[in-house]
């Protein structure tokens, strides 16, 4: 990676799956490389062929530090993956309250798809989780 940066190669180059070095580093939970790439202008909101972003991938993994780092460095907390799931929904589905709290603290409570009924609140209701439902409502979800 350092050689790519040193020789001014395209740091956002994609492989056949549309994965960039940053996306691959997020899949591998390698915070040191993630930091290095972001510091060297890797696109923090880039998507692969499945619509996954570094943040949606990090929310799907177990490393909370990666999520915090990406959010603090400008990751879009509203950008959804190719399946229509926001980082907040992914964190809820993974039952990770710390990630959910971090996302909410950075404004991720979202109701942007009310017209088609595809909000975080609706996904939680469909799955029948009362604790998550109360948590969403307490944090500003529109009912």
Q: Please report, for the domain that includes residue 12, its CATH number.
A: 1.25.40.20
61 lies in which domain range? 2-138
- Specify if 90 maps to a domain: yes
The mean pLDDT of 83-101, rounded to a whole number, is 83
Q: Give the span between the Cα atoms of 103 and 76, in whole angstroms.
A: 10
- Specify if 117 maps to a domain: yes
Model pTM? 0.79
- Specify if 143 maps to a domain: no
Give 74's contacts (C-beta < 8 A, 6+ positions apart): 44, 45
Residue tagged 């060297």 (tokens): 40
Per cent of the chain over pLDDT 90 is 49
């Amino acid at each position: 990676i350092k050689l790519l940066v040193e020789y001014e190669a395209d740091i956002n180059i994609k492989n056949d799956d549309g994965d960039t070095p940053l996306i691959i580093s997020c899949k591998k939970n390698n915070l040191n490389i993630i930091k290095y790439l972001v510091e060297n202008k890797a696109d923090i909101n880039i998507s692969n062929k499945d619509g996954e972003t570094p943040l949606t991938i990090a929310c799907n993994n177990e490393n909370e530090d990666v999520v915090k780092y990406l959010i603090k460095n400008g990751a879009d907390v509203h950008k959804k993956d190719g399946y229509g799931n926001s980082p907040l929904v992914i964190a809820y589905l993974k039952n990770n309250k710390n990630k959910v709290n971090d996302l909410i603290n950075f404004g991720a409570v979202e109701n942007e798809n009310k017209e088609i009924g595809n909000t975080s609140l609706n996904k939680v209701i469909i799955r029948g989780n009362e604790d998550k439902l109360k948590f969403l409502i307490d944090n500003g979800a529109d009912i």
